[in-house]
Amino acid sequence: MNLLLLLIIIFSILVLVRLANVAQLAAKLSDESEEEEQDNDNRMNGIGLMIFLWGGLILMVYMIFRYKAYMLPVSASEHGVQIDKLMNTNWVVLFIVFVITQVLLFSFAFKYRFNKERRAFFFHDNNKLEVIWTIIPTIVLAALITTGLSEWSNITDYAKRKEGLLIQVYGKQFDWTVRYAGKDNKLGESYFRRINDTNPLGVDSLDVNSNDDLTAREMYLPVGVPIELAINSRDVIHSVYLPHFRVQMNAVPGMTTRFSFKPTITTAKMREITGNPKFDYILLCNKICGVAHYNMNMKVVVVEPADFKEWLKSQKPLFENTVVAAAPATRTVSEKPNEKKIVALK
């Protein structure tokens, strides 16, 4: 196989040497002057540019329609629908600009190809034009920025969101764990030095808030309920990416990051929408994190709130053996740091 490759390379080099020689000889022999040859090249390449332009645009549009089916389905979260809308508006604007500028670029090139009877138009400055094409992009961009930023502040303004269901998403090489806060909607404090085999998240068992916490390896979400993700990592940077919900946030060791969203479409419903009975939501790791980065994911299931409660009941709490009576003693100690670490922004 390697030998073959080598032979192919050597052979193609030989062919190219021949070609170059022939081309040079031919140029010498023919009485075609260099000028005529350049004329011919200008014509051929000019035509080439036109074919490339229109052929390319047609192929582009074809691909857009052909691959549409492969794109993400309708957003399964509230803010995601807004993002998609914004994205589409942007695409319309950008596509128009794209077509205009590319058409001008290639058509001018074709139209004004060399002709020795003609001189170029000596046109080197025009302040009016410069002002026009400074101002028009400025206006367009201003519009895009304002719509974009208002959406951004809607998405990131945690203060506006109350009563979210608090879920910790915990990344490590190479899997995810979710921890539900339980009835009190408060997560017990966790700290990396407390991690051991039976306590992979390093949760403080003496923290009263942790008593009803429970962990799972699949993320269940109730539809229509605001969710707040508190995201952590224990080793390197990972990233929580939920493409179907238009959610992404890095998991950074040493700090808690957050993302709030509201799922709007259950898995069952999405299976209908996509026409794919095997469809499942997924949480992907989207920050390079090591050898098995490409395998680091977790199934996400959106269900009706009632089903969610059922499911939650069937999960086992983190510290089944913890004596509730231990709680009052540690409560005062753990409440403050806990508030800071996990739910500070609430």
Partner 1 sequence: MEVNQHSSEAHVTETDDHAHGHAHHDDHHDHVENFWTKYLFTTDHKMISKQFLVTAIGMAFIAMFMSLIFRLQLAWPDTKFPFLEGFLGKWAKDGVLDPGFYLALVTIHGTIMVFFVLTGGLSGTFSNLLIPLQVGARDMASGVLNMLSFWFFAVSSAVMLSSLFIETGPASAGWTVYPPLSALPQAIPGSGLGMTLWLISMVLFIASALLGGINYIATVLNLRTKGMSMTRLPLTIWAFLVTAILGVLSFPVLFAASLLLVMDRSFGTSFYLSDIFIDGAPLEHVGGSPVLFQHLFWFLGHPEVYIVLLPALGLASEVISTNARKPIFGYKAMIGSILVIAFLSFIVWGHHMFITGMNPFLGSVFVFTTLLIAIPSAVKVFNYITTLWRGNLQFTPQMLFAIGLVSFFISGGLTGIILGDSALDINVHDTYFVVAHFHIVMGSSAIFGMFAGVYHWFPKMYGRMMNKKLGYIHFWMTIVSVYGVFFPMHFLGLAGVPRRYYANTAYEGFSQLININQLITVFAILGGIAQFIFAFNFFYSIWRGKRATQNPWKSNTLEWTTPVEHLHGNWPGEIPEVHRWPYDYGKPGSKEDFIPQTIPYSETPESNTPDDLKH
Among 265, 289, 303, 343, binds partner 1 (CB under 8 A): 289
| 11 counts as binding partner 1 under rule CB under 8 A | no
200-205 long-range contacts, CB within 8 A, separation 24+: 200/172, 201/168, 201/170, 201/177, 201/234, 202/234, 203/179, 203/318, 203/319, 204/334, 204/338, 205/318, 205/319, 205/322
By a kind-dependent CB cut-off of 5 to 8 A, residue 63 interacts, out of Cu ion, partner 1, none, with: partner 1
Work out which of 50, 81, 102, 271 binds partner 1, going by CB under 8 A. Answer: 102
Q: By CB under 8 A, is residue 312 in contact with partner 1?
A: no
CB nearer to partner 1: give 226 or 331: 226
> Token digits for 115?
């002709």
Chosen residue from 33, 126, 314, 332 binding partner 1 by CB under 8 A: 126
The residue (of 294 and 305) whose beta carbon lies closer to partner 1 is 294
Residue 80 Cβ vs partner 1, minimum distance, rounded to whole Å: 8
Evaluate whether 170 touches 214 at the Cβ level (below 8 Å).
no
**Residue 156 found at the interface with partner 1 (CB under 8 A):** yes
Judged by CB under 8 A, how many residues of this single chain contact partner 1? 116
Nearer to partner 1, 221 or 229 (CB): 229
Residue 2 is a binding residue for partner 1 (CB under 8 A)? yes
192 binds, among partner 1, Cu ion, none (CB under 5 to 8 A by kind): partner 1
User: In three state form, how does the secondary structure of 284-324 look?
Assistant: EECCCCCCCHHHCEEEEEEECHHHHHHHHHHCCECCCCCCH
Question: Which residue, among 277, 202, 270, has the nearest Cα to 234 in the 3D structure?
Answer: 202
CA–CA distance, 271 with 278 (Å, rounded to integer): 7
Of residues 159-178, those binding partner 1 (CB under 8 A): 172-173
> Residue 283 or residue 289: which is nearer to Cu ion going by CB?
289
Rounded-to-integer distance, Cα 275 and Cα 128, Å: 55
Q: How far is the CB of 183 from Cu ion (least distance, A)?
A: 31
Q: Which of residues 23-62 bind partner 1 (CB under 8 A)?
A: 23-24, 38, 41-42, 44-46, 48-49, 52, 56, 60
Determine, following the binding rule CB under 8 A, whether residue 10 of this chain makes contact with partner 1. no
Among 11, 54, 62, 108, binds partner 1 (CB under 8 A): 108
The answer to the question of residue 198 lying near partner 1 (CB under 8 A) is: no
CA distances to 16, 40, 105, 113, 334 from 54, rounded to whole Å, are 31, 22, 12, 18, 67
* Binding range to Cu ion, per CB under 5 A, among 38-46, 92-100, 191-199, 284-292: 284-292
Q: Are strands 281-285 and 165-172 parallel, antiparallel or unpaired?
A: unpaired
Helix (H/G/I), strand (E/B), else coil: 218: coil
Among 234, 238, 246, 346, binds Cu ion (CB under 5 A): 238
Q: Which of residues 285-304 bind Cu ion (CB under 5 A)?
A: 285, 289, 296
Rank residues 156 and 316 by Cβ distance to partner 1 and give the closer one.
156
Using an 8 Å Cβ cutoff, are 179 and 215 in contact?
Answer: yes
Is position 283 an interface residue for Cu ion (rule: CB under 5 A)?
Answer: no
Among 19, 58, 74, 329, binds partner 1 (CB under 8 A): 19
Residue type, 330: T
Helix (H, G, I), strand (E, B) or coil at 238: strand
Instruction: Compute the distance between CA of residue 327 and CA of residue 320 in angstroms, rounded to an integer.
Output: 14
Compute how many other C-beta atoms are within 10 angstroms of the C-beta atom of residue 285.
26
Rounded CA gap, 335 and 315, in Å? 25
Q: Could you tell me which stretch among 203-211, 221-229, 291-299, 311-319 binds partner 1 (CB under 8 A)?
A: 291-299
The residues that touch Cu ion, with contacts defined as CB under 5 A, are 238, 285, 289, 296
